[in-house]
Structure 1
Amino acid sequence: MADPLVAQAGAVEFDEPSAPPKPPIPDAPPRPFGKLYAIGDIHLSFKGNREALQELAPKPNDGLILVGDVGESSEHLTIAFSKAKECFQTVFWTPGNHELYSLRAEEQAEGGSLKGEEKYLHSIEVARAFGVITPEDPYQFWWCEGKNGEAVPYLIAPIFTLYDYSFRPDHVKLEDAVAWAREENIEATDEYMLHPDPYPTREAWCEVLVNRTAARLTETVAHYGLGVKVVLAGHWPLRQDLVNLRLIPRFSIWCGTKQTEDWHRHFNAEVVVSGHLHIRRTDWRDDVRFEECSLGYPRQWKECQDKGMGINDFLREILPGPTYEGVDKAATIWRRFG
């Protein structure tokens, strides 16, 4: 089979917050405010991508979001986090499916063959050892200058949601989803290497993650008020209509969950950042900017390398972001070259 990269869960109940009150928004740091960039799917299991990462340029006043698929092992995470922290003031990370893969002990000396949630929590420990902010840490504010020169805080929320096979046609039942993809010779490696332990299925784990994240975001927005501007950053796209896989459309079942379809509205998102698709693009939904900012496997950006481009050309500016004045926000900006 080729690896190209619970029935549909009901709408999430957005309960009233029950956690202890959060602190007020902190004071703005000294100006000038730094920029916030993002990149995903750097796949450090490939030598060419590891070499490319070493060319990452220092931006000591700026921040970086790594939106998953850094690699499969603790070694890959260590390489990524050490280099990112060397170059950026603040680094955020959220896992992709590759970080969750269970490897043989000889392939990963530290972490070994951990499965499911244990593998995820082990990756969290590696990130925290480098001071990298994860989905399990308090959300952080990032400050930018507004149109009138005022200081504007944005709440950066790394999220981990997984998928539940609900990105499929209505006529395909959940229990038939993987077989439906196999009909076109498509099957994700996840089916063999991404274990849901201790949950019975990946969709059950997804349900837990979605409900937990929704409750946390609900509580956070309720605390800071509807005026708070949020950046949602996760590996999987939040909306099915942003999964445009022309050559492998049935891979969509491994690309997210319909439970997050309206999160950009529910949680006051200014920008939503994702990876996973290896198809770089910028879209708008309800005047919210969606950024797919993956690098991809070496063969997928070789044409860019042939033009003299490197990893720094693929860093997507999230904040403050381009103005996009005069841009047709009903259309997609395809980012073939970064």
Structure 2
Amino acid sequence: MRLLAISDLHLSATPNRMALDRLPACPDDWLVLAGDIAERPDDLAHAFDTISKRFSRLIWVPGNHELWTIPGPEGPLQGQQKYNIMRDVARAHGVLTPDDPYPVWTGPGGPVLLAPLFLLYDYSFRPDHVPAEKVLDWAWEHRLRSADERRLSPAPHASRQDWCAHLVEQAAARLERERPPGMPTVLINHFPLRADLVTLRRIPRFSPWCGTVATTDWHLRFGALACIHGHLHVPGTHWRDGVRFEEVSLGYPRQWMPHDRGPERALRQILPAPPVS
């Protein structure tokens, strides 16, 4: 029995959708899906239909792509409303979401509280000399601008920063309240919890869209054994303060296909903790 993780399946890309069938059948294992699975509810449902047959339990957190505005029969689906719809798709397939009770892992390495989180970014992953009101200009100096600026509405919040602050406050209060005393955790979020994990060598000025400094110490504050994130499309293992941080992305076809690093190879084991190489 293992806890595995993967993210950034990006099923809107045809090669990624076709490669989904390469995920192995692991009927005794749990799988974390750490966001950016699909932009549309029907594509997310297809992912859950396919993957749920191969794993004992699924845990999902949204990425920014799940929040993108898309047309709907009653107008555009956006912001909190879009998240609610994607969450309900997950629940309809028996998939645990950030709004459900935290499960306790009792397999090898347990007991461990698994905490799926829905957090955003607030442009605070930026150099100290760049003021908040200039951060988009700073990124644009390198011709960088996230598609979120057009596609990710914060409605009904006034801004993405406000939405992020609200989500961080809610999640921190819930962890303080619901974590059993002394029980270790695995923190699961689409975005990295620390700025020093953003290793984007080719596009370093993309960092403002990658998280919030409000979570920098959460791995210590909430007793994490491991923290899971995606978003960066740079899979790897990093250590901070003796805590393991796993970036678990598959990525876009141009990133994984040249190396044939498909979904079956992108899976990363979280628990039991693999040997340290």
Task: State TM-score, norm by structure 2.
Answer: 0.97
Give, in angstroms, the shift of residue 312 of structure 1: 1.0
Say which SS state the counterpart of residue 43 (structure 1) adopts.
coil
Q: State the alpha-carbon separation in 2 of the partners of residues 208 and 158 from structure 1.
A: 16
Contact 2:256 2:262 in 1 (8 A): no
Match of 2:200 in 1: 245
Aligned residue identity for 1:186: L
In the alignment, what sits opposite 1:225? Answer: 181
- Tell me the amino acid that sits aligned with residue 38 of structure 1: A
Deviation at 1:115, TM superposition (A): 1.1
In the alignment, which residue of structure 2 is the partner of 1:126? 89
Among 101, 110, 119, which residue is 1:161 paired with? 119
Q: Which runs of 4+ in 1 moved over 3 A?
A: none
| Aligned equivalents of 1:143, 1:47: Cα separation in 2 | 37
Worse-superposed segment, 185-194 or 56-65? 56-65
Which residue in 2 is equivalent to 1:38?
A: 5
Rounded to whole Å, the distance in 2 between the matches of 1:154 and 1:87 is 23
Alignment of 1:46-195 (within 5 A): 46-105=13-72, 113-146=76-109, 152-195=110-153
Query: What's the counterpart of residue 243 of structure 2?
Result: 288
Q: Show structure 1 runs of 5+ residues with no match.
A: 1-33, 147-151, 328-338
Deviation string, structure 1 residues 248-298 (Cα, Å, up to 9, x no partner): 111000000000000000001000000000001101111110000100000
In the alignment, structure 1 residue 202 sits paired with structure 2 residue 179 = no
On the 8 A contact 2:250/2:262 being kept in 1, the answer is: no
Q: Does 1:317 align with 2:269?
A: yes
Task: Write the distance in 1 (CA, Å) between the matches of 2:113 and 2:49.
Answer: 24
> What fraction of aligned residue pairs are identical, expressed as a percent?
49
Deviations 1:113-167 (A, max 9, x none): 2110000011110000000000000000112335xxxxx3111110011000000
TM-superposed deviation, 1:92 = 0.2
Query: Structure 2: where are the runs of 5+ without partners?
Result: none
Cα shift at 1:79: 1.3
Deviation at 1:112, TM superposition (A): 6.0
- Deviation of residue 321 (structure 1)? 2.5
Tell me which residue corresponds to 2:219.
264
**Paired AA for residue 98 in structure 2:** P
1:255 aligned residue (191, 200, 210):
210
| Contact 2:36 2:65 (C-alpha < 8 Å) held by counterparts | yes
Task: State the SS of the aligned residue for 2:111.
Answer: strand
Q: Name the structure 2 match of 1:335.
A: none
Tell me how far apart the structure 1 counterparts of residues 210 and 235 of structure 2 sit (CA, whole Å): 15
How far apart are the structure 2 equivalents of 1:297 and 1:169?
Answer: 28
Give the match for residue 253 of structure 2: 298
Q: CA-atom RMSD, angstroms?
A: 1.2
Question: Within 1, Cα distance between the matches of 2:222 and 2:204?
Answer: 29
Compared CA separation, residues 258 and 81, structure 1 to 2 (3 A): same
Cα gap change, 1:112/1:67 in structure 2, threshold over 3 Å: closer, same or farther?
Answer: farther
Cα distance, 1:198 vs structure 2:
0.4
- How many residues of Structure 1 are paired with residues of Structure 2 in the alignment? 277
**How many Å separate the matches in 1 of 2:43 and 2:122?**
27
Whichever residue aligns with residue 52 of structure 2, its letter is K
Does the residue aligned with 2:24 lie in a helix, a strand or coil? coil
Q: Which moved more, 1:55-64 or 1:42-51?
A: 55-64
Give 1:287's aligned amino acid: G
Report Cα offsets for 1:275-334 as digits up to 9, x if no partner.
0000011011111100001000000011222xxx5311111001103121xx4xxxxxxx
CA-CA distance at 1:80 after TM superposition: 1.1
Structure 1: distance between partners of 2:131 and 2:33? 34
